[in-house]
Amino acid sequence: MAGSPAFRQPTVPGRAVPSGWMHELVDTRDRPVRDLRISVTDRCNFRCTYCMPKEIFSRDYEFLDRHSLLTFEEIERIARSFARHGVTKLRLTGGEPLLRKGIEELIGRLGVIDGIEDLTLTTNGSLLARKAIKLAEAGLNRVTVSLDSMDDEVFMAMNDVGFPVAAVLEGVDAAVEAGLTPIKINMVVKRGVNDDSIVDVVEHFRGTGHIVRFIEYMDVGTTNGWKLDDVVPADEIVARISERFPLEPADPNYVGEVANRWRHVDGSGEVGVIASVTKPFCGDCTRVRLSAEGSIYTCLFASTGSDFRALLRGGGTDADLDALVRSVWSGRTDRYSEMRSRATRARTRIEMSYIGG
């Protein structure tokens, strides 16, 4: 495999292979590429303490200028290339993606790409109430909304801009009305900060059809002051929920799914738990990330990326772009969560706000 891209015959369980597909591309661990996460901006209107702490991302912080950001046409070209190599899911992230002016145009461009079955967006919910209908009309399929507590005092302290829970819930309701379902609710759990909110969040959303996903506080980036003592392990999260609302394990929806699924025994829905620290989750990872200024990162915990913008702005053809995709993915060796140690945690990593979650 060394020195040349790895291919196998394209196979996608349960569906026909798109006509534009090349041979399926796999990395050095035989993992195909399926999910492209696209950061459309590095800016956010929240200053969540676990992601963009105000002490670092202050008023004087220099975000990317407009020229540095990929244009919608450039994003579309990259997405089409990855779709030709097996990607079936696109997720728009940030920063806060709804801050990107004209995001509906980009959604319209991406939603018609051959082979893309799922076009989603992760948001803090602050602008969702006013934008949900236009997002759906543009072709967005679903949204994931971040909500770290049902308690206003806790939530406002965590987003650090005083944004209330009720306004996020208004956005969730607007997304339901627009048909952007099923909705996933993401909650990052930090011990001593919002872990008392775990059961409250489950209670609020059970029976609604929304899926709450609890995420262990991660050592992503180097600015959030991460400590292992702040992590509430996935097993403890499940135990806390089950004590009040009994759960039973559920099978994964697809290969590469990061969240472990659990069903309410009474049939009132499900929750997901992402053990991003306490358990390895790299073994079947099929994700790749595109930063707002055009670098591809093959791991959430990456230190460096591959510059795609230079090729696009240097006159590169689609054939050149496809060759770069093959080169980057076929050489992928990432397995950070399987080799995480005190030594690996000390290395420089890209901030989550830069490449999305």
Please choose, from the candidates 66, 75, 340, 62, the residue with its C-alpha nearest in 3D space to the C-alpha of residue 228: 340
Q: How confident is the model at residue 284, as a pLDDT?
A: 84
CB 89 within 8 Å of CB 117 = yes
Q: How confident is the model at residue 224, as a pLDDT?
A: 58
Each domain of the chain, given as residue ranges in start order, spans 32-355
- pLDDT < 70 positions in the chain: 1-23, 220-226, 256, 280-282, 334-349, 352, 354, 357
- β-strand partners of 232: none
This prediction's pTM: 0.90
Q: How confident is the model at residue 254, as a pLDDT?
A: 77
Work out the widest C-alpha separation in the chain, in whole angstroms. Answer: 59
d(CA 296, CA 258): 20
Q: How confident is the model at residue 1, as a pLDDT?
A: 37
Phi, psi of 297 (to 5 degrees): -120, 130
* Record: fold of 32-355: TIM Barrel (3.20.20)
The residue type of 60 is: D
The residue type of 5 is: P
d(CA 351, CA 220): 6
Q: How confident is the model at residue 338, as a pLDDT?
A: 46
d(CA 314, CA 178): 40
d(CA 205, CA 225): 30
Q: How confident is the model at residue 44, as a pLDDT?
A: 96
CB 301 within 8 Å of CB 48 = no
Instruction: Look at the block and give the residue holding tokens 């996020």.
Output: 168
